[in-house]
Chain A
Amino acid sequence: MSQGDTAALEHHYTTTGLPSRKMLMWAFIGSECMFFGSLITTYLVYHGRNLQGPYPADLLSVPFISVTTFVLLMSSLMMVLALSAVQRGQKKWTRVFLFLTPFLGMIFLGGQVIEFTHFAESGLSLSRNLFGSTFFVLTGFHGAHVTVGVIWLLTLWVQSLRGKLGSEHSLSVEIAGLYWHFVDVVWVVLFTVIYLMQGVKT
């Protein structure tokens, strides 16, 4: 085996056979599970303990958020298609899906902004009651994560426009995809806990 081969082998040699960057994203997702888990637990602990309104039942609109949730889920589908396109070297579809994913993400974020504004106008704030504190912080952090994902994906999209995202770069797309799907799964949990499990009226 020549020295050059050894060098190439060493650059890509991994004990598990998995790329280190992919493992990094998985491990990071593990810590993010604990992060969101703590926030969700806080939300659940404080659920129903508001001393004054506005209460969740007054404000939460399941129909509206069902639509935005659907949009976010569709964006994950776009992400899957984007990865598939990159892996097959289909440059045009790569550009299309790498645009649609963050685009749908931005629509989701738009929905969040509309909802936050509506809540704020109805008197909900961080200091108003426990619902205000927990709701804004929990969904706000989720939204921040979506925003980071949108910026990341748009960057990849620009790379694809410049022709720099061939199939040999599919790992970068795959890792962005892992992050994006995770953020989506977190939303599914949030949607369930906040909107579907409303429970008591206070």
Chain B
Amino acid sequence: MATSEAALHSPAGAHGHEGTYSGGIWSWITTVDHKRIGILYGLTALMFFVLGGIEALVIRLQLHGPNAGIVSPQVYNQLFTMHGTTMIFLALMPLGAAFFNFVVPLQIGARDVAFPRLNAFSYWTFLFGGLFLYSSWFWQAPDAGWFGYANLTSTQFSPGPGVDFWFLGLQLLGLSSLVAALNFAITILNLRAPGMKLMRMPLFTWMTLVTSFLMILAFPAITVGLVLLMFDRFFDAGFYNVAVGGDVVLWQHLFWIFGHPEVYILILPAMGIVSEIIPTFSQKPLFGYPVVVYSGVLIGFIGFGVWAHHMFAVGMGPIANSVFSATTMIIAIPTGVKIFNWLATMWGGKIRPKAPFLFAFGFIIMFIIGGLSGVMHASPPADLQQTDSYFVVAHFHYVLFGGSVFGLFGGIYYWYPKITGKMMSETLGKWHFWLMIIAFNITFFPMHFLGLQGMPRRTYTYESGLGFHDMNLVATAGSFLLGVSFLIFFWNFFRSLKTGQKAGENPWNAATLEWAIPSPPPHYNFDTLPTVRSRDPLWAEDGYEKPPADEEPEMPAGSGWPIVVSAGLLVLAIAAITGHLWMVGVGVLIVFVGVYGWSFQPVYR
């Protein structure tokens, strides 16, 4: 017998709309509330998404015709380096983190994450890392690509601070991500409400768990790769120096051992979001829930065994190429299985094509295309034509934009009511979707042809007479249309904050726990922790129950120490790039003081 309705409207629960986001700047700087941190991540990620998008538009402008001369070769190389780095590390990952932060504790019935101050630290380190990286535009932006192959990144071939900005910024961002991943893994394993068994967790939470483990195990590889680069650049070590016997291919292995799991880190959260939206808007539970979970886990595992498929042209030899080709093909299977399960979820359902559903559906359609071109890459001989050409640019934009971006934006439309308490305009949402999906295909579909017609990637121009002009022009036109579609989105996003219709607790009639509390949720999320009895707690008869509460629960107090430690790390990065030894001392001191202050500060005050 469900006591849910009565329990929800306890005195504490009624204060949901006030106090969640109130307070001045200081309360936001010292916040340890996962909901606020999620919002900070989300807004910052959207800001960087816009910057990365502008970089893309300039790239497309330069490529609209042969020898366009809009930017110099050096600036062009900086643009594509920053575009890639921004979109991956400063836009997509933090947007995912925004949802991990806001949604996961709510879905598992927790009051906050396991380590709220560590959570804040992750955010501030991300912000400072991103700002540090972007400050390079004022001095010398990095221009060796987002993947910075050695030995192009050596001081011999990349003198100046550009590459230093790149790797120092990435170290800060890597630390932020690693710490966040540790936090989320422990949160999901350890703070689930009673009855929330692993196989009852919402899919988004599951994918967050897998993604967290991927981050924990993959980031150290790039950390080491970058550390070796740092020693080469700052102290003349020989790790990637052919003259002393170093091997430049070592960089590629270390980078891609991180880099391949990284792309699963980028796609699994979006897949998790799609796995929430499709059932909700089909009004049917997810078909094959255990299989979808296991597929995600399997993708995570196998994802560590495919990295060298980025290196099929390096000359590793037939045996290595064969092994990685096989593992890459194998990983296509669990990926496909997820898609079939989503299809089966819709089958026989009652589909309401609201904005969140459109984006989730768009994800599936676009991701299939990206996945199929991925299978083409999985065959090394075929890949010898495709790799490093616009064919692979098309592939990864289909999976990362057509996939991750569509999925994450679906998440924005889906959870916006819960986060803000307002509904976004459905009309504008539809306009955004249709313009975006059409413009996206106009921009990126031609790139398949460009690649097959022999246009290499990362080239600031191309010769006329090679047949590249028309497709490039089409792609450029599409990219500007894409920009317009985002203008519609931002208009909708900000305007709805003021004038959006008031959202109730569960405007989509969804099944998971976050929809059982007010929108926006009160500071403490649940007045009492629910006991869960079903995978779809809000749909099932007796899906969950909460004892009544009569006073507000105690929550961790805000703290200023996380931002202090982040600031100390930023000082260290600045010290490294300016070469001032005394500043290193200052940075270390700030970090020490911050860590000590943090350790001795009680959580609850």
Report which A residues bind B (CB closer than 8 A).
3, 6-7, 10-11, 13-16, 18, 20, 23-24, 27-28, 30-32, 34-35, 37-39, 42, 45-46, 49-51, 126-127, 129-130, 132-134, 137, 141, 155
Q: For residue B339, give the distance in angstroms from its CB to the closest CB of chain A.
A: 31
Q: Which residue of chain B is the closest to A141 with respect to CB atoms? A: B227
Cβ-defined partner of B237 (8 Å) among A32, A35, A127: A127
Residues of A within 8 A of B528 (CB): 6
Bound Cα distance A46, B245 (Å)? 8
Q: Which residue of chain A is the closest to B218 with respect to CB atoms? A: A34
Bound Cα distance A18, B250 (Å)? 39
Bound Cα distance A81, B178 (Å)? 32
Q: For residue B545, give the distance in angstroms from its CB to the closest CB of chain A.
A: 15
**Is B553 within 8 A of A7, CB to CB?**
yes
Q: List, sorted by A's number, 15 A–B pairs whose CB atoms are closer than 8 Å.
A: A3-B551, A10-B553, A27-B185, A34-B216, A34-B220, A38-B221, A38-B225, A42-B250, A46-B247, A51-B244, A133-B231, A133-B237, A133-B239, A137-B231, A137-B237
Q: Which residue of chain B is the closest to A127 with respect to CB atoms? A: B236
B254 within 8 A of A: yes
B5 within 8 A of A: no
CB within 8 Å of A: which B240-271 residues: 244-247, 250, 254, 257
Q: For residue A186, give the distance in angstroms from its CB to the closest CB of chain B.
A: 13
**Is A16 within 8 A of B219, CB to CB?**
no
Interface string of B156-187 (1 = CB under 8 A from A): 00000000000000000000001000110111
CB within 8 Å of A: which B315-352 residues: none
Bound Cα distance A82, B555 (Å)? 33
Interface string of B517-560 (1 = CB under 8 A from A): 00000000000110000000000000000000111011000000
Residues of A within 8 A of B189 (CB): 15-16, 23
Q: For residue B170, give the distance in angstroms from its CB to the closest CB of chain A.
A: 15
Q: Which residue of chain A is the closest to B187 with respect to CB atoms? A: A20
Q: For residue A37, give the distance in angstroms from its CB to the closest CB of chain B.
A: 8
Bound Cα distance A98, B306 (Å)? 45
Residues of A within 8 A of B244 (CB): 51, 127, 129-130, 133
Q: For residue A9, give the distance in angstroms from its CB to the closest CB of chain B.
A: 9
Q: Which residue of chain A is the closest to B108 with respect to CB atoms? A: A15
Report which B residues bind A (CB closer than 8 A).
111, 114-115, 178, 182-183, 185-187, 189-192, 196, 216-221, 223-225, 227-228, 231, 235-239, 244-247, 250, 254, 257, 528-529, 549-551, 553-554, 596, 599, 604
Q: Nearest 10 CB-CB pairs, A to B?
A: A38-B224, A34-B220, A35-B220, A127-B236, A133-B237, A126-B237, A20-B114, A15-B192, A14-B190, A49-B245
Q: For residue A169, give the distance in angstroms from its CB to the closest CB of chain B.
A: 12
Q: Which residue of chain A is the closest to B236 with respect to CB atoms? A: A127
The DSSP consensus for interface residues of chain B is helix
**Is B227 within 8 A of A137, CB to CB?**
yes
**Is B237 within 8 A of A7, CB to CB?**
no
Bound Cα distance A34, B187 (Å)? 22
Bound Cα distance A18, B257 (Å)? 31
Bound Cα distance A23, B529 (Å)? 22
Residues of A within 8 A of B196 (CB): 15
Bound Cα distance A114, B599 (Å)? 33
**Is A31 within 8 A of B114, CB to CB?**
no
**Is B217 within 8 A of A129, CB to CB?**
no
**Is B186 within 8 A of A20, CB to CB?**
yes
**Is A11 within 8 A of B191, CB to CB?**
no
Residues of A within 8 A of B221 (CB): 34, 38
Q: For residue A128, give the distance in angstroms from its CB to the closest CB of chain B.
A: 8
Bound Cα distance A134, B247 (Å)? 13
Cβ-defined partner of A28 (8 Å) among B111, B182, B223, B235: B182
Q: For residue B233, give the distance in angstroms from its CB to the closest CB of chain A.
A: 12
Given contacts A38-B254, A45-B250, contact A137 B236 (CB under 8 A): no
Q: Which residue of chain A is the closest to B113 with respect to CB atoms? A: A20
**Is B239 within 8 A of A51, CB to CB?**
no
Q: Which residue of chain A is the closest to B529 with respect to CB atoms? A: A10
| A-B contact sample (17 more), CB < 8 A, given A15-B196, A42-B228 | A3-B551, A10-B553, A14-B191, A15-B190, A16-B190, A20-B114, A20-B115, A27-B185, A38-B221, A38-B225, A38-B257, A42-B224, A46-B239, A127-B236, A130-B244, A133-B238, A133-B246
**Is B239 within 8 A of A42, CB to CB?**
yes
**Is A31 within 8 A of B186, CB to CB?**
no
**Is B245 within 8 A of A50, CB to CB?**
yes
Bound Cα distance A32, B246 (Å)? 25
**Is B238 within 8 A of A129, CB to CB?**
yes
Q: For residue A123, give the distance in angstroms from its CB to the closest CB of chain B.
A: 14
Bound Cα distance A155, B596 (Å)? 10
Cβ-defined partner of B115 (8 Å) among A24, A31, A32, A126: A24
**Quick one: which of B185, B228, B246, B554 has the most chain A CB within 10 A?**
B246
**Is B235 within 8 A of A127, CB to CB?**
yes
Residues of B within 8 A of A35 (CB): 220, 223-224
**Is A38 within 8 A of B604, CB to CB?**
no
Q: For residue A147, give the distance in angstroms from its CB to the closest CB of chain B.
A: 12
Residues of B within 8 A of A32 (CB): 220
Residues of B within 8 A of A127 (CB): 235-238, 244
Residues of B within 8 A of A49 (CB): 245
**Is B191 within 8 A of A20, CB to CB?**
yes
**Is A15 within 8 A of B604, CB to CB?**
no
Residues of A within 8 A of B245 (CB): 46, 49-51, 129-130
Bound Cα distance A23, B184 (Å)? 12
Bound Cα distance A155, B598 (Å)? 14
Q: For residue A17, give the distance in angstroms from its CB to the closest CB of chain B.
A: 9
Q: For residue B238, give the distance in angstroms from its CB to the closest CB of chain A.
A: 5
Bound Cα distance A35, B115 (Å)? 23
Q: For residue A156, give the distance in angstroms from its CB to the closest CB of chain B.
A: 10
Given contacts A30-B216, A38-B221, contact A23 B186 (CB under 8 A): yes
Q: Which residue of chain A is the closest to B235 with respect to CB atoms? A: A126
Bound Cα distance A16, B599 (Å)? 24
Residues of B within 8 A of A11 (CB): 554, 604
Residues of A within 8 A of B227 (CB): 137, 141
Q: Which residue of chain A is the closest to B185 with respect to CB atoms? A: A27
Residues of A within 8 A of B186 (CB): 20, 23-24, 27
Bound Cα distance A107, B111 (Å)? 45
Residues of A within 8 A of B115 (CB): 20, 24
Bound Cα distance A45, B219 (Å)? 20
**Is B254 within 8 A of A15, CB to CB?**
no
Bound Cα distance A57, B215 (Å)? 38
Given contacts A3-B551, A129-B245, contact A30 B217 (CB under 8 A): yes
Cβ-defined partner of A45 (8 Å) among B111, B192, B247: B247
Bound Cα distance A137, B247 (Å)? 17
Q: For residue A32, give the distance in angstroms from its CB to the closest CB of chain B.
A: 7
Residues of A within 8 A of B220 (CB): 31-32, 34-35, 37-38
Bound Cα distance A11, B599 (Å)? 18
Residues of B within 8 A of A129 (CB): 238, 244-245
**Is A34 within 8 A of B217, CB to CB?**
yes
Residues of A within 8 A of B529 (CB): 10, 13
Residues of A within 8 A of B551 (CB): 3
Q: For residue B547, give the distance in angstroms from its CB to the closest CB of chain A.
A: 8
Residues of A within 8 A of B246 (CB): 46, 130, 133
Q: For residue B540, give the distance in angstroms from its CB to the closest CB of chain A.
A: 21
Bound Cα distance A30, B214 (Å)? 11
